[in-house]
Chains A and B, each alone.
Chain A
Amino acid sequence: MMISSRLSAAAARNRKMKIAGFFLVLLLIGLAALWRAPLSGALWSVIAPLMRARFGGEPAVSAAQTATLADREALYQENLALKTLLGRKPQVERILGAVLIRPPATPYDTLVIDAGSAEGIALGDVVSAGGGATIGTISEVYTHAARVRLYSSSGEKYDALLLLSGQGGIIPLAIEGQGGGSLRAQVPDGVEVAVGDAALLPGIVGGITARVSHIDRGEGESFVTLYFTLPVDLFTIRFVEVWKQLSHELQ
């Protein structure tokens, strides 16, 4: 009798602990769902110094890269000057952010950078890898960190313009992200598209979003499938520029 009453008391205690554990888990998941952004921000404020130490440091730049960068900067300034001359003055305030975590460290096509609302980052700001090479938009903002959703994120769709190097035209197309820095679009068969053609975001300050890396032409099909890659290597990117505000001022 005594043994059976002890066993039943232990079983009852065990059952109560299981129920308490179940409600504790429900509470934790509910809290995480309701306050995801503040909790993520708090977590990243702790993790950021560790990730900066793990992935930080400026990469060595060769002389050839320095020369290319200088040439690109000169062309970019000439582009801005021409736009100003024609009555459009694109004003873009840029904020530099160091990449704390990048693919494949993240299981999704996202970056986490070390600039947040305190540095002036806002939801929806465009992110570039330098110059006009845009790679994504700000999807979550914390106090001193922010998450960037890349254009190549699976399921993301964007309207872009394809610059045709062969016949010199521009055609609109819808690009869909496939993950891993890859994007996909379809154009009618007969369009003279070539590997290396660039896709641009529309707008006065739009930059190069992707380049054609492969063309899939099926026999007898009406459409050609284009595969794009982002203009930079996501797996080694260390710094990004956040375009705080895209404005179109008229002189």
Chain B
Amino acid sequence: MNSSSRLIYALTFLLAAAGFLMPLWPLSVVGVVLAALSGRWIFAVIVGLMLDLAWGAPTGMYRYLFFPFTIVALVGFIVRYWGSRYFLDKNPQERI
């Protein structure tokens, strides 16, 4: 694990924990999204699951989401996957 990975893991966890303690839950969302977009999506899912277990299931019309912060992590992973495939790909497949 290189230093940038350690930094991202630490920063993600700090943001999620700070959002839980301050309290400011959008900060926790930022932490989860940061981890997912930087490619550490499994860690993002784990942090999202912990936040969902701590805050419980949503109420009202959002109750069908069940695990909203985990869904945010998965959406971040999908965005990263498609973004890296279509916008960050440095080896284009087409050849003349």
Contacts and interface: CB of A to CB of B under 8 A. Distances in A.
A105 B23 contact: yes
Contact of B60 (A25, A47, A147, A155): A155
B45 A25 contact: yes
B70 A29 contact: yes
Contacts of A110: 55-56, 59
Given A105-B25, A106-B25, A153 B54 contact: no
A18 to B, nearest CB: 10
A153 B42 contact: no
A25 B23 contact: no
A173 B67 CA distance: 33
Contact of A149 (B49, B55, B59): B59
Residue among B20, B59, B74 with max Cβ neighbours from chain A (10 Å): B59
Contacts of B23: 101, 104-106
B33 to A, nearest CB: 15
A195 interface: no
Contacts of B42: 21, 24-25
Contacts, number: 79
A217 interface: no
Nearest to A26: B45
Given A154-B61, A177-B60, A179-B60, A106 B53 contact: no
Given A25-B42, A28-B46, A101-B23, A156 B60 contact: yes
B75 interface: no
A57 to B, nearest CB: 15
B21 interface: yes
A32 B61 contact: no
Residue among B23, B45, B56, B61 with max Cβ neighbours from chain A (10 Å): B56
A21 B25 CA distance: 27
A40 B53 contact: yes
B63 to A, nearest CB: 7
Contact of B25 (A107, A153, A155): A107
B66 A33 contact: yes
A108 interface: yes
B87 interface: no
A155 B66 contact: no
A39 B53 contact: yes
B60 A28 contact: no
A109 B53 contact: no
B50 interface: yes
9 contacts: A28-B46, A29-B49, A43-B50, A104-B23, A105-B20, A108-B55, A108-B56, A110-B56, A154-B61
